[in-house]
């Protein structure tokens, strides 16, 4: 996994130890004389900031009042914070500000273009003017800022970058020497070039702490970032090794995997419920050929159905007509944050062709007739399928969405507990007279297809379905339509009163409902009465007058599909499905 991240960084990113890409919100301009000129917002009107590469990245930022060089937050550089900020936090910002100023003074003594910045930071009046402008612009203390000095960007100047590299190397050397002198007796030396880097296989002095991955605050992570590889407790360590010596990696390898993951989270991620999925390919793939993109956002029906798009890509790959490398591979990680750590919930990789095949199968398995019976429902977005399992998407556990993502990408069977959740929501919607959820019905259907065996699954009504549970669902739909045709809207009808009992114990419920159907038939005119009588007789003939006493969870799923697909067929009003002599309004049954 980390090897693939390093490979991605080497191919796609300009990564180097001690530098990183940050989302910077403000650009502060100062003159050659060190006077404040202007503050400019970055990143357009959305306020998200601008991706700025080659920002100096300070090591050892866990504690100690250190600050990053040149690019930092407003609260550190300009002493800009909320009026009600806690005194202990203010003291911390002031300490980091002093460190920031000291670094600029050291750099300015060697690099002349930074001299105006040294003058600016030493002038309290200039800092006050900057804070006033930031307040007028509604800036946040945690926003990042960078500089334009006398019209030039110091981040792009070779002499500024060179000074930072030299300072960093010297500081890391001093830290290693201090650690060596204070190391307890009997503890093995983690450095001195005597360890093997996990990622390169070379002898190395391991980096004691690794950089943080930002962008996971929406899925349990910290706003300041989370560590992918870290050992801050004794229980995580072995053989007396300290910190990240337990997974020795050199600074170049660490910089590459950290920058790669940060870049992917920022630019190639999709949020699931409580988790984030990042994905990439060994060789670049055009957006229009990315099967994971239309797994989350299926194409419009007017362009092409998602499963057709996948099939076209698949056929083009096999025929060699598509500009996608035939030996390409995909990589996908499911991430979340917890207590300052990056949690890798899942990792998947494999041939690109396998991925396309499985996405094609996913949409094919989910195909279901629309609730109005007028064709197939539109392919659901992945999050719509997730949402079909809960009352609200925010209530869905991260583990559920992560498992469903793996089901789609790996072509696995759908877990039975997911069917139980879908049926629970289906029954709840029926009782509340809510519209049918297409994604939910498609997921229940997909369960039987992926389970294997002959379950007679079809997107449309299957009158010859071999399972009596399915036929019992059809029967309830017909009885509901009959009641509606005979009595009109009676409020709590057959479905609201009997669906739960009929789907769990049809042997105790459906017989009584069929017997009562004769009373409803007597209230209809001849043609419509005969039609209902024929339909009910046809279904009873397939059940053979032997209602199952009870239905397990799989049987209840078949019952729900039979009910839904019969309702859809009734609404369509087509010959062979709902009868040419009837109207949709008279037989559609409950919602």
pLDDT in tens, 298-351: 665 444 555 556 666 666 655 555 556 668 899 999 999 988 899 998 999 999
Query: What angle do the packed helices 526-543 and 506-521 form, to 10 degrees?
Result: 160
pLDDT tens-digit map of 380-423: 888 899 999 998 888 888 888 889 999 999 999 999 999 999 99
Q: What pLDDT sits at residue 574?
A: 45
User: In whole angstroms, what is the distance from residue 350 CA to residue 346 CA?
Assistant: 14
Sign of CA dihedral 110, 114, 115, 121: negative
Sort 546 into a burial class: Cβ within 10 Å, 0-12 / 13-18 / 19+.
exposed
Q: What pLDDT sits at residue 319?
A: 56
Strands 203-204 vs 195-196: parallel, antiparallel or unpaired: antiparallel
Per-residue pLDDT band at 365 (split at 50, 70, 90): very high
pLDDT tens-digit map of 235-291: 778 877 888 888 889 888 899 999 999 999 988 888 887 889 999 999 888 777 788
User: In whole angstroms, what is the distance from residue 19 CA to residue 287 CA?
Assistant: 29
398 phi/psi in degrees, rounded to 5:
-60, -35
Q: Are 107 and 114 in contact (CB under 8 A)?
A: yes
Residues paired with 195 in a beta bridge: 204
Q: What pLDDT sits at residue 582?
A: 42
Q: Is the pTM of this model over 0.85?
A: no
- Give the length of the chain: 591
Whether residue 550 has pLDDT greater than 90: yes
Q: What pLDDT sits at residue 139?
A: 93
Q: What pLDDT sits at residue 323?
A: 57
Per-residue pLDDT band at 580 (split at 50, 70, 90): very low
Q: Residue 265: which H helix or E strand, with range?
A: helix 251-267
User: In whole angstroms, what is the distance from residue 32 CA to residue 151 CA?
Assistant: 8
What is the DSSP-derived secondary structure letter of residue 465?
Answer: -
Structure tokens at 546: 């032997």
User: In whole angstroms, what is the distance from residue 448 CA to residue 455 CA?
Assistant: 6
The domains of the chain are located at 2-254, 273-331+350-439, 461-587
Average pLDDT over residues 156-173: 92
Q: What pLDDT sits at residue 231?
A: 86
pLDDT tens-digit map of 6-39: 999 988 888 888 998 889 999 999 999 999 999 9
Whether residue 226 has pLDDT greater than 60: yes
Q: What's the N-to-C CA distance of the chain in angstroms?
A: 48
Structure tokens at 126: 């200039």
């Amino acid at each position: 996994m980390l090897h693939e991240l390093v490979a991605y960084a080497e191919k796609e990113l300009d990564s180097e130890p001690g530098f990183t890409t940050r989302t910077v919100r403000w650009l502060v301009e100062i003159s050659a004389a060190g006077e404040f000129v202007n503050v400019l917002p970055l990143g357009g009107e959305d306020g998200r900031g601008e991706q700025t590469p080659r920002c100096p990245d300070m090591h050892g930022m866990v504690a100690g009042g250190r600050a990053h060089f040149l690019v930092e937050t407003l609260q550190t550089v300009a002493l800009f914070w909320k009026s009600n900020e806690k005194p202990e936090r203010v003291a911390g910002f002031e300490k980091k500000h002093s460190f920031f100023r000291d670094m600029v003074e050291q750099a300015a003594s060697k690099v002349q273009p930074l001299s105006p910045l040294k003058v600016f930071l030493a002038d309290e009046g200039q800092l006050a003017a900057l804070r006033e402008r930031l307040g007028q612009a509604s800036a946040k203390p945690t926003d990042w800022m960078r500089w334009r000095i006398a019209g030039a960007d110091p981040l792009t100047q070779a002499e500024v970058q060179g000074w930072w590299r030299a300072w960093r190397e010297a500081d890391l050397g001093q830290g290693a020497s201090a650690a060596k002198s204070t190391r307890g007796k009997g503890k093995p030396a983690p450095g001195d070039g005597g360890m093997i880097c996990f990622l390169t296989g070379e002898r190395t002095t391991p980096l004691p702490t690794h950089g943080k991955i930002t962008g996971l605050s929406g899925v349990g992570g910290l706003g300041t970032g989370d560590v992918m590889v870290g050992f801050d407790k004794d229980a995580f360590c072995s053989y007396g090794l300290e910190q990240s010596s337990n997974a020795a990696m050199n600074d170049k390898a660490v910089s590459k995997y950290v920058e790669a993951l940060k870049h992917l989270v920022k630019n190639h991620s999709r949020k699931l419920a409580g988790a984030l999925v990042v994905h990439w390919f060994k060789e670049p793939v055009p957006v229009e050929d990315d099967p994971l993109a239309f797994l989350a956002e299926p194409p419009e029906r007017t362009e092409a159905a998602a499963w057709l798009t996948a099939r076209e890509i698949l056929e083009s790959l096999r025929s060699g007509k598509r500009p996608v490398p035939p030996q390409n591979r995909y990589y996908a990680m499911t991430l979340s944050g917890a207590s300052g750590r990056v949690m890798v919930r899942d990792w998947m990789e494999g041939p690109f062709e396998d991925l396309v095949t499985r996405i094609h199968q996913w949409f094919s398995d989910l195909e279901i007739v629309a609730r109005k019976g007028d064709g197939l429902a539109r392919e659901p977005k992945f999050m719509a399928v997730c949402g079909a399992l809960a009352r609200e998407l925010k209530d869905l556990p991260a583990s559920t969405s992560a498992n469903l993502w793996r089901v789609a990408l790996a072509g696995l069977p759908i877990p039975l507990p997911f069917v139980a959740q879908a049926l629970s929501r289906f029954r709840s919607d029926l009782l509340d007279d809510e519209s049918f959820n297409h994604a939910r019905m498609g997921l229940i259907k997909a369960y039987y297809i992926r389970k294997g065996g002959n379950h007679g699954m079809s997107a449309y009504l299957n009158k010859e379905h071999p399972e009596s549970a399915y036929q019992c669902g059809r029967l309830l739909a017909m009885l509901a339509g009959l009641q509606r045709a005979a009595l009109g809207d009676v409020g709590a009808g057959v479905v609201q009163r009997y669906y739960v009992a009929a789907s769990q114990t049809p042997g105790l419920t459906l017989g009584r409902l069929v017997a009562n159907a004769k009373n409803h038939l007597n209230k209809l005119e001849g043609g419509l009465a005969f039609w209902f009588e024929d339909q009910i007789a046809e279904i009873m003939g397939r059940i053979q007058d032997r209602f199952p006493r009870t239905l397990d969870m799989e049987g209840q799923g078949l019952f729900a599909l039979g009910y839904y697909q019969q309702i859809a067929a009734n609404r369509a009003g087509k010959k062979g499905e709902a009868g040419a002599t009837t109207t949709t309004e008279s037989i559609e049954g409950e919602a």
